[in-house]
């Protein structure tokens, strides 16, 4: 019997074509070879190179004055699962102008801005792309949104599909998708440093999602810290944002004492949001270590404290967009950052 007709054939051939576990998936050269470029981030402050945004569009028109509820001082729709924090309906032109100012500030820093053009016409929260993913070194974990409307296409559940399709079009690796009963929105994830991350557990983020995220982080040697947020607080980025490698902007009224102590133990200097300012001031965006796009409409006190601490501020007005319940950090999903 010839070799090719024997059971030994594939053993002889395949031992000459060995698989290679190393370099690892996240290796820069391997990422470029397989996925076209190095994807992901190492932390939250490295120089940003690519970011995903969704410019608010016709979906905003669903927020009409007839749905104003004086009891909560907001335009709100329980069936469709959205709210607008004001009695007057949105001014779409102003929202777009503010969003354009944000993307112009990003482009001025050399950041490639990628637009997510598709979204559900029934989802006026689609501009807050941050919540759809957790970007790590080498790829992204797709989140699983909490609000589910009564009708098809309402609520935030479903944004994940539009974002997944866009990232696949770009060629970005999907490391995992939160599934089963897991609930998680990306605004509640933050790097403290390259080997430590924090997640805010709340009304919108549960332990099952934390377990799934932890599995992915463990492969990269990253420790996950769980932070229980207060009341109906939604996301960690409403109380904590790293603004430099050893500096964070915090709203301590929404953070447990032990987390503030942990930052101190790690020699991370904290800048407290000024008491006279809108707490939304914490929801800013780092474009490179020590340089931040900042929602100046929330007050000057916090900006002055940051400037005094050596942080370079790029001020923009984001007041109309913030009525939708989020700010600059919420409106951006960094896809690539260089190591800081």
Mean pLDDT of the residues in the chain? 96
Yes or no: say if 51 and 334 are a contact pair by the CB < 8 Å rule.
yes
Q: For the chain, give the percent of residues with pLDDT over 70.
A: 100
Q: What is the pLDDT at residue 3?
A: 85
| Distant-in-sequence contacts of 270-273, Cβ < 8 A, 24+ apart | 271/243, 271/247, 271/302, 271/305, 271/306, 271/309, 271/311, 272/305, 273/249, 273/302
Q: Indicate whether 2 pLDDT > 90.
A: no
pLDDT in tens, 311-333: 999 999 999 999 999 999 999 99
pLDDT in tens, 153-187: 899 999 999 999 999 999 999 999 999 999 999 99
pTM for the model: 0.96
Instruction: Compute the half-sphere exposure of residue 124: CA atoms within 13 Å on the CB side of its CA.
Output: 25
Q: Indicate whether 231 pLDDT > 90.
A: no
Q: Indicate whether 11 pLDDT > 90.
A: no
Q: Domain spans of the chain?
A: 22-337
Q: For the chain, give the percent of residues with pLDDT over 90.
A: 92
Q: How confident is the model at residue 203 (pLDDT cuts 50, 70, 90)?
A: confident
Q: How confident is the model at residue 14 (pLDDT cuts 50, 70, 90)?
A: confident
Q: How confident is the model at residue 279 (pLDDT cuts 50, 70, 90)?
A: very high
22-337 under CATH 3.75.10.10, yes or no: yes
26: left (phi over 0), alpha (psi -120 to 50) or beta: alpha
Q: What is the pLDDT at residue 226?
A: 98
Contacts of 13 (CB under 8 A, 6+ apart): none
Q: What is the pLDDT at residue 232?
A: 83
């Amino acid at each position: 019997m010839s070799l090719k007709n024997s059971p030994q054939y594939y053993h002889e051939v395949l031992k000459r074509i060995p698989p290679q576990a190393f370099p690892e998936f996240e290796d820069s050269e391997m990422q470029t070879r397989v996925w076209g470029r190095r994807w992901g981030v190492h932390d939250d402050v490295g120089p940003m190179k690519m970011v995903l945004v969704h410019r608010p569009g016709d979906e905003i028109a669903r927020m009409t004055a007839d749905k104003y509820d004086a009891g909560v001082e907001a335009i709100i729709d329980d069936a469709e699962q959205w709210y607008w924090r004001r009695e007057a309906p949105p001014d779409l032109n102003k929202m777009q102008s503010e969003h354009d100012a944000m993307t112009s500030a990003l482009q001025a820093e050399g950041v490639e801005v990628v637009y997510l053009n598709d979204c559900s016409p029934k989802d006026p929260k689609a501009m807050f792309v941050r919540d759809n993913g957790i970007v790590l070194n080498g790829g992204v974990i797709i989140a699983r949104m909490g609000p589910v409307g009564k009708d098809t296409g309402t609520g935030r559940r479903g944004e994940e599909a539009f974002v997944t399709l866009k990232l696949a079009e770009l060629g970005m690796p999907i490391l995992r998708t939160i599934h089963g009963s897991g609930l998680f929105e990306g605004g509640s994830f933050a790097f403290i440093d390259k080997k430590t991350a924090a997640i805010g557990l709340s009304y919108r983020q549960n332990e099952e999602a934390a377990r799934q995220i932890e599995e992915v982080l463990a492969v990269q040697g990253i420790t996950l810290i769980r932070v229980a947020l207060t009341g109906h607080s939604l996301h960690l980025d409403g109380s904590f944002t790293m603004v430099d490698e050893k500096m964070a902007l915090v709203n301590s009224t929404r953070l447990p004492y032990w987390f503030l102590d942990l930052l101190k133990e790690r020699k991370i200097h904290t800048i407290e949001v000024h008491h006279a300012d809108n707490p939304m001031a914490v929801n800013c965006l780092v474009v490179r270590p020590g340089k931040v796009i900042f929602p100046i409409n929330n007050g000057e006190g916090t900006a002055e404290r940051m400037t005094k601490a050596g942080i370079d501020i790029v001020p923009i007005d984001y007041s109309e967009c913030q009525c939708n319940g989020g700010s600059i950090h919420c409106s951006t999903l960094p896809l690539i950052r260089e190591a800081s």
